[in-house]
Structure 1
Amino acid sequence: MEQLPVFVYGTLRSGQRNHGLIGDRVAQRFPARAAGLGLFGDRIPFALDRPGQQVVGELMVLAEAQYEAAMADLDRLEKYHPDRPGDCLYLRVRRPVDYLAENGEWAETPAWLYLTGQAARGRYDENVPILGGDWVAVQTG
């Protein structure tokens, strides 16, 4: 597997309930956004392809020595089965993500992110988006 950073936009973000799964294995984190996606859901967020929209999150650079184990844990949490895509709650995909670099400028990098899979149908309402694409703002607002 290509060792890319991971873009997280929901319960894996800093301060959210699933962040502890990878929190101690993150070497660096940056504010980030993914263009062309919309966010839906209430208890858990689901990202879907939506031109003209964006999802707000964090870019997590995982520690190299713990990368494989962290990705395996993420795949389990997201119910991602590469050999059974129809059974996946989320699909892990490689996408470009913009992040706020240490120099204060926005930059683009490829990253792994989890998009909504077929097994998630019925768990969200596409007519009720998370406005602004920011799960944490909705949870704390």
Structure 2
Amino acid sequence: MRRITEIIIHCSATPEGKDFTVDDIRRWHLARKFADIGYHYVIYRDGSVHKGRAENIAGAHCLGHNAHSIGICYIGGVAKDGKTPKDTRTPQQKTALRQLVNQLKFYYPHATVHGHNEFSSKACPSFNVQKDL
């Protein structure tokens, strides 16, 4: 079992109002030569939570932090123009994200929760994780 010390939140950097799936992201990541989808969980716009990479396998979502983290991605994160960072989470996504983080914190009580932007010069996940979660 991997020792999990961080839970890192991401967005898919896709335009608000558009649906994408785990299979879509997997295809994008495989095209970038990843071994599989980089995230462990993906939250769809309807709030449903879908498994990506198995938790017992290191992710490919945050350089320098993959070995000991769980990566969660919500669909969205940019405005309709496809470029401007924006918190596009639906109410269902917000609820699902809180529930998933709480569940993971139960299993990994010493893990800290972060936005990808805390480790990278990206806007991802397009909201302040420390303030919101």
The structure richer in strand per residue is 1
- TM bin, normalised by shorter chain, reads 0.3 to 0.5
TM-score w.r.t. the length of structure 2 is: 0.32
Higher relative contact order (CA 8 A, sep 6+): 2
